[in-house]
């Protein structure tokens, strides 16, 4: 009899615990679990401007690859960092406003563990070809500013054209969802109705990149071949960067050719465009040498003979070439 009572008491106690557990679950089930979120900052230092991006991702990875989400973007005021070649000490401070914006987005408790990285592209690659010392000083200024921020500085460097193309390809295919394929997309892939990934053509200010998956890279230069493992799958990618074929450098080359043929152009006969435009074109090492010689000769002649750049000249080139006169 006593053993039966003991068993009943134990069963009653366990039932009570079960009820308490159910109540606890019912109370807490609608409350979100604490998120283990990581943050990262990337500065994309292009030829014409710099953008700062803040990303977040859960600490847990999917097939050894993080699932990243962009949460903030800030366009740095002023030119790209290559535009500070004659005032290199100003390159770093130009990033201060966007870094402050990143501080406000990322929880202060996570500032020290948040990596920050700057990658400079074709504008700085051109500057390094023209003036390596100035390029080094620009990167030093940028690095000093990023080190003084409360984040985990991971570096500031000039990336190669191949890296730039590859990063663009990853971004495009990530945003299209090509790396994480749903059931219906897998079916289409199996039936060959759909390409697994998309190629990327990136038109920048100073260069253009083309990148795509290729099954046969045996005839290509090793420097144009890259290999990635993303979401548990391997990718063999062809990438090539065409320096000087970005839109800004193409415009400078077009202007240089127009200036060379300027003797028959009515607007150029007045000679008011040559000193300013000649200087602007001659700043680029993308303009062919034989054109530079001709432009310098014409510009020097105009300066020596006292020709100036009147307002109507500035308006003409703003209209036809969409840029500000220097």
269 is known as an active-site residue: no
Q: How far apart are CA 16 and CA 305, in angstroms?
A: 102
Q: Report helix, strand or coil for 38.
A: strand
DSSP 8-state code for residue 34: P
Q: Please give the span between the terminal C-alpha atoms of the chain, in angstroms, as a whole number.
A: 104
d(CA 40, CA 118): 11
Distances (CA, A) of 316 to 252, 253, 325: 16, 18, 10
Q: How are strands ordered across the β-sheet holding 225-230?
A: 200-203, 207-213, 233-243, 225-230
- Choosing from 60, 113, 164, 312, which is the catalytic residue? 164
Other beta carbons within 10 angstroms of residue 260's beta carbon come to 17
270 is in an annotated binding site: no
How many helical (H) and strand (E) elements, i.e. helices and strands, does the chain have? 11, 9
Structure tokens at 178: 């090509």
DSSP string for residues in 41-110: EEEEE-SS-EEEEEEEEESS-BTTB---EEEEEEEPSSS-GGGGTTSGGGTTGGGHHHHHHHHHHS-GGG
Structure tokens at 288: 């062919």
208 labelled ligand-binding: yes
183 among annotated binding-site residues: no
- Numbered residues of the known binding site: 205-209
Among all residues, which ones are annotated catalytic? Answer: 164
- Numbered residues of the known binding site for ATP: 205-209
């Amino acid at each position: 009899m006593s053993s039966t009572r003991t068993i009943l008491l134990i069963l009653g106690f366990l039932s009570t615990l079960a009820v308490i557990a159910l109540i606890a679950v019912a109370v807490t089930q609608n409350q979100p679990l604490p998120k283990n979120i990581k943050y990262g900052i990337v500065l994309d230092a292009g030829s014409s401007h710099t953008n700062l991006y803040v990303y977040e991702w859960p600490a847990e990875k999917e097939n050894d690859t993080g699932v990243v989400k962009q949460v903030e973007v800030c366009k740095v005021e002023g030119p790209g960092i290559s535009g500070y070649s004659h005032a290199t000490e100003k390159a770093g401070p130009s990033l201060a406003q966007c870094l402050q914006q990143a501080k406000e987005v990322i929880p202060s408790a996570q500032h020290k563990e948040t990596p920050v990285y700057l990658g400079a592209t074709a504008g700085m690659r051109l500057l390094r070809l023209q003036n390596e010392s100035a390029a080094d000083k620009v990167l030093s200024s940028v690095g000093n500013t990023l080190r003084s921020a409360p984040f985990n500085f991971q570096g500031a460097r000039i990336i190669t054209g191949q890296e730039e193309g590859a990063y663009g390809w990853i971004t495009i295919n990530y945003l299209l969802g090509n790396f994480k394929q749903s059931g219906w997309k897998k079916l289409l892939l199996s039936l060959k109705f759909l390409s697994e990934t998309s190629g990327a053509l990136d038109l920048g200010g100073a260069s253009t990149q083309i990148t795509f998956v290729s099954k046969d890279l045996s005839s290509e230069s090793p420097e144009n071949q890259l290999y990635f493992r993303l979401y548990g799958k391997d990718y063999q990618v062809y990438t090539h960067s065409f320096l000087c074929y970005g839109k800004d450098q193409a415009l400078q080359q077009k202007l240089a050719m127009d200036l060379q043929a300027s003797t028959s152009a009515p607007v150029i006969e007045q000679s008011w465009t040559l000193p300013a435009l000649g200087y602007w074109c001659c700043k680029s090492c993308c303009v062919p040498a034989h054109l530079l010689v001709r432009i310098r000769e014409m510009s020097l002649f105009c300066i020596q003979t006292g020709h100036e750049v009147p307002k109507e000249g500035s308006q003409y080139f703003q209209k036809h070439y969409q840029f500000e006169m220097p």
